Structure 1
Amino acid sequence: MKETMTGDELLQLKRVSALLERASSLTSVARLRSGPFPAAQDDSPFQACARDLSREIERIDAEDQRARILRQLQIIRSTIAPVRRLPNELLSEVFAIAVYGHHTYERAFVARILAAVCAIWRATACDTANFWTCIDLSLATRKNVRALLDMHVDLANGLLLRVCQRPRVNVDEQMRRLLDLPSKYTVRLEQISFRGNEVAFPVRETPDLSSLVHVDLRVFGQNVSRALAFLCRARALCSLSLHLEYPCRFQSYLSIPTLPNLTELKLIKDGEPNDWVIINEIIVSPVLKGCAASLQRLIFSNHEEIGWQGERIILPALRCVDLQYGAHHLLSHVHAPALETVILRETRDPFVPLRHIIKSSKPPICTLDLVFVNGSRRHFSVAEVTDNHPLIHTEHAPATCSKSNEPIVPALTSLRLQHRRKVYHALVQLDVYLA
């Protein structure tokens, strides 16, 4: 049998109903989504209603009534929130903090979430062209790649586009379809970041990539030699990162198209170290020769000594090399008269090839970074002295860096030594190794 409500309960129910009706007349979820929103001088009724709702919550015990009041209170507070009165330019800056705080491939997705909140946020997000320049191919299917590009082209408002993908997501087919699109789409691409099989790249028609300036490829497959063929019309390309992952096969020499503006090359090959004696002949030498005239910065990683015959490769514009593992042997096989900066990482006995490049560099080397360098033949070691400066030395050879001996690296102005988790910026006695 249903219990009869007391007089106080009836009064409370009427008060709550009247208060909720008053709140509903001021704002609603529909108004939150589409506006309009009150100006600062017009929000007094909203503030008063919010205070009354807050006081009423403290008086009642019924959970269903508390939930209804809380929901209406949230709607009112959101309606008069200061963010509603921000100019679109400032709101866009606030959004940028949220969007750019995520990985490149997540930014458009975050912008979509912001645009779904309300009409003002949607207009602001959609009008901020930079939010839509990154295309995450992971969000596309094989059939809607063109539709995804159409959306980004429209929202980017003339800005060039960057193509990327989420880690561990296969987008080989999406990439192939993207590069098969008409030139009105491909000329909008400024950057491509891709990891997958070499079959993702077209082999019949070369796409028009005349606006492309940066490419980051991590590829594998049965014939990775064609991984670079799609760049034949990328004449503006400035930066190329090529990571050859295991398993990979080469049916011919890996050649690089003529790229007259290429200034930075990163080349990394995974696999067993003993593969490199053969691989260097078909990868390193052809690729370097293909961009020798314009290359200014080279990042190279391999495990074995460079093994090719013939004359040294001339790299007239090369200014910086960043070499890891056995890649320091490259210094004995190139002529780089403009080289100024040498970075050696996790190397063994780098001083013989370093001596070759120092003798041929004009101007001489002025910056040298040694990161976790070890030596075997010369018992290379690091000893900390009283002023916490490192000293590179051998057990039997005295230091030759003195006033009576001309320094072998006369232009050296910066040297950084990282050893055993410590980084030193100091003068180091190197001449004993380079003499």
Structure 2
Amino acid sequence: MSDFLNHKKEKNMIPKYRKQFNQEFSNEKYAQLKEILKEKSGIEPAFRISESPLFLTREFKAKLLEASDSIIDQIKALPAETLRKAIPENCRVPNDTHQPHFFTIDFGICKSENGEIEPQLIELQAFPSLYAFQRTFEDTFCEVYPFLSEIRNKMPDETFKNYLKELIVSNEDPENVVLLEIYPEKQKTVIDFLFTEQLLGIKTVCLTKIKKEGKKLFYDNDGKRTEIKRIYNRVIFDELDRIPDLKTEFDFREEVDVTWVTHPNWFFKISKFLLPLLQHPFVPKSYFLHEFPEHEDLGDFVLKPLFSFAGSGVNLNPTREITDAIEDRENYILQRKVQYEPVFEDINGDFAKAEIRLLYIWREKDEHPILLENLGRMTKAAMVNVDFNKKDAIWIGSSNAFFAEE
């Protein structure tokens, strides 16, 4: 029995906080958590909210940050021309920037060969994630479970707001800054758009509603024709071609008098395209499909398209037949499989696995990005995607990580 208890303790990250959370948890508190988010935003989240936060150690956080710093330094050292090769010819947007305004990096929570819990890089993006939502989510976890406040993100809410406001709005009037998306009301992330509007005083505008005159862009701001000077871009550019009968006055590839936050080219430059170029103990070996060596075993790798969102197109068990059928082989990578470790115990004694996404901003004057928040995703399925879980599973979905001493 003692061996079983010791094994169970090893699997749990920060047993003290996990035990307290599980003792305090109830379905009523879970309902309260979701209701507060609904009251604050005006809508219910369109994605599943996990019942539980992630509890991670300061030691694990140190590993995360060391790996992130190394990856950032490696990216900064790459020639601009190497990054430029990632952009498809038909997707290049004028007036590129020196660096992206956003940088997010996903790590799986895994176990090393010597039994230590460690991060393993899954992917990275220069695309804004749920910054405003995650901050509110963390605040809400602390409202429902007050003891979490002692291990929460130390950055004050006002500092968080000022960072995002400086980055996105800058010195412009908020009415001249828009959050741009395609059919925003249909997006699963619409709750983040609403929190962003509240935080920054800007409007969310659909790409189809943008008017263009010469090099200037305009939108209807409650009946007032208003010029757009800065675009907080949430449109995934390469997906526009997949929307049938899309009618717009504005093409991303046209030169216009706006500042992009972040510039669309960075969606391609900071992507899975970089994975074969990075080296670190916490970066699984990756190859472009057309460069996959004969000596490697295909069964040890996951097949991923370079540019996809929310896990679409990922094949956990690629075969030679599948890879041979792919024509644009330079647009796929094979990434060595990692073993997610289930370390998050639920109230039934079962364990969930998770990924953590670090949410950085990268101001134009800064050499290094600034970490603002994190995003957790929990699962009990083979992929960290809620769609792959059983309908009655718990401790799955969108979460937030809290770090504490062991």
Q: Which has the larger radius of gyration?
A: 1
TM-score under structure 1 normalisation? 0.20
**Larger helix share, 1 or 2:** 1
> Which of 1 and 2 has higher RCO (CA within 8 Å, sep 6+)?
2
Query: Which structure dedicates a bigger proportion of its chain to strand?
Result: 2
